[in-house]
Amino acid sequence: MDLNTDIMKRIFITILSAAALLTACEEFQPVFTGKYENPEEQYIYTDEDFGGKFTSIADLKKMYVNAPVKVKGRCVIKGQVTTSDQVGNLYKSLYIQDETAGIEIKIGKNGLYNEYKLGQWIYVDCTDLTVGDYNGMINLGYEDPTKEYETSYLEHAYIIDNHVFKGEYDEPVQPVEVSEADLLKDVNMGRLVTIKNLKYGYVDSYGLNQIFILAYIDPNGDRKDYTNNCIFVDDSWSQPADRSLWVDTWACSEAKWKEYLYSGIFDNVEVAGGTVADFKNPDGTYNIGSMAYSVSQYFTMGKSGVQVRSSGYARFADTKIPAEVLDGTATVSFTGILTKYKGESQFTLIDLDGVKKADGTNWY
């Protein structure tokens, strides 16, 4: 190889190396040293955007008469947000209320607390939405194409953005204190309320109603197959005499359900023509699936029962009810959303800040 050929070869290799280096650098985009454009400010709606004319929430709810109704013509409601799904005790829904009533808006998204703040004014264009009922509670949602329920969620962003409009921030709504006589009044359904001095447990004409859990033998099976796939831990079952085996939490996560199940306290609960014990294997395991379950704990207000229902997906699901409450030596007051289920009072906590002692201080 002569000198010229060797020089040309080295130059060629150098060029290739430089090209390879440039190619490698292109795989990693150059560091951005400029400035991003500021995001467009979110538009805050006011009464003027809707002509200042609104339908009251109470009048909207009156549209429901024994069957779901699709709203026609101009119908806009406004109300303040009274709930947050931050701790997980509400799912894909929020409640708003005006001076006349409160109502659940079925918005099919998680993390609603990031977008709709407590006290914020919300405008809802109800045109073409559906007013429906779920076991006695009127709600607003979308027409359910399956007809399984009277309403479904506003699942798509386009639908939500064309019906739900964010207004100004305001002070959070103050709860209204309700008496025993007010528990089932329609005007209080879906409103933020405080109920005071309740005692744990509720005795009615059927016996002691202390707890209710609807569980499933096969969580992936037919949940409406009550005969073969559902476990009702209800008024036919009493808490064990041994308090260490009580269901003493507000709800139960998947792990907590398994703990309760494997303690054997549900063995005598009737299910599928037998009992839970029939699903128990010789090694002590159960042929019953595990998942998070809602629990209804019963309390007494005067002579009336109040079912405090909490989700197994709530962050406080496995939090124990105070021992003094369970043994009846202390009363408890609740702040949250008052509802009803099949004619009975039901209560939804927003978080554990809504659980107070008789003197108004926190239990947690």
Tell me the two tokens of residue 27: 């795989």
Which tokens is 160 given? Answer: 């939500």
pLDDT value for 20: 47
How does DSSP classify residue 62? H
- CA atoms within 13 A of residue 121's CA, in its CB half-sphere: 14
Q: What whole-number distance in Å separates Cα of residue 80 and Cα of residue 97?
A: 5
Q: What's this model's pTM, rounded to 2 decimal places?
A: 0.86
258 plus 338 within the same structural domain: yes
Same domain, 209 and 304: yes
Phi, psi of 213 (to 5 degrees): -135, 130
Cα separation, 316 vs 311, in Å, equals: 9
Would 93 be classed as within a structural domain? yes
The answer to whether position 324 is within a domain reads yes
User: Are residue 310 and residue 334 in the same domain, yes or no?
Assistant: yes
Q: What is the reported pLDDT for 244?
A: 78
- 8 A C-beta contact, residue 265 and residue 240: yes
User: Is residue 41 included in any domain, yes or no?
Assistant: no
Residue 255 and residue 328 share a domain: yes
Contact (CB, 8 A) for 160 and 154: yes
Question: What does the pLDDT profile of the chain (364 residues) look like in tens digits?
Answer: 554 455 455 544 454 454 444 444 444 445 555 555 666 678 999 999 999 999 999 999 999 999 999 999 999 999 999 999 999 999 999 999 999 999 999 999 999 999 999 999 999 999 999 999 999 999 999 999 999 999 999 989 999 999 999 999 999 999 999 999 999 999 999 999 999 999 998 865 545 557 899 999 999 999 989 999 999 998 677 778 787 788 999 999 999 999 999 999 999 999 988 999 999 999 999 999 999 999 999 999 999 999 999 999 999 999 999 999 999 999 999 999 999 999 999 999 999 999 999 999 999 9
CATH number at residue 158: 2.40.50.140
Is residue 140 assigned to a domain?
yes
Q: Are residues 219 and 71 in the same domain?
A: no
User: Residue 23 falls within a domain, yes or no?
Assistant: no
The whole-angstrom separation of Cα 132 and Cα 256 is 34
Residue pair 73/294 in contact by the 8 Å Cβ criterion: no
Residue 90 belongs to what domain range?
47-166
Q: 132, 225, 240, 139: which is closest to 190 by C-alpha? A: 139
Last residue in a domain, options 144, 166, 188: 166
* DSSP code at position 36: P
Same domain, 114 and 257: no
Regarding whether 190 and 314 lie in a shared domain, the answer is yes
Q: What are phi and psi of 270, to 5 degrees?
A: -75, 140
Q: Looking at the structure, do residues 190 and 81 belong to the same domain, yes or no? A: no
Please count the structural domains in the chain: 2
Tell me if 35 is assigned to some domain.
no
201 lies in the same domain as 136: no
DSSP of 41-59: PPPPP-GGGGTT----HHH
- Cα angle 244, 247, 248 (rounded to 5 degrees) comes to 75
Pair 225, 344 in one domain: yes
Q: Quick one: pLDDT at residue 209?
A: 59
190 and 329 fall within a common domain:
yes
Task: Please report, as a single letter, which amino acid is at residue 53.
Answer: K
- State how far the alpha carbon of 172 is from the alpha carbons of 100, 103, 116, 168, 250, in Å: 17, 16, 12, 12, 25
Q: Is residue 314 part of a domain?
A: yes
Would 38 be classed as within a structural domain?
no
**pLDDT of amino acid 273:** 85
Same domain, 206 and 338: yes
How far apart are alpha carbons 104 and 154 in whole angstroms?
A: 12
> Where does a domain end: 166, 200, 223?
166
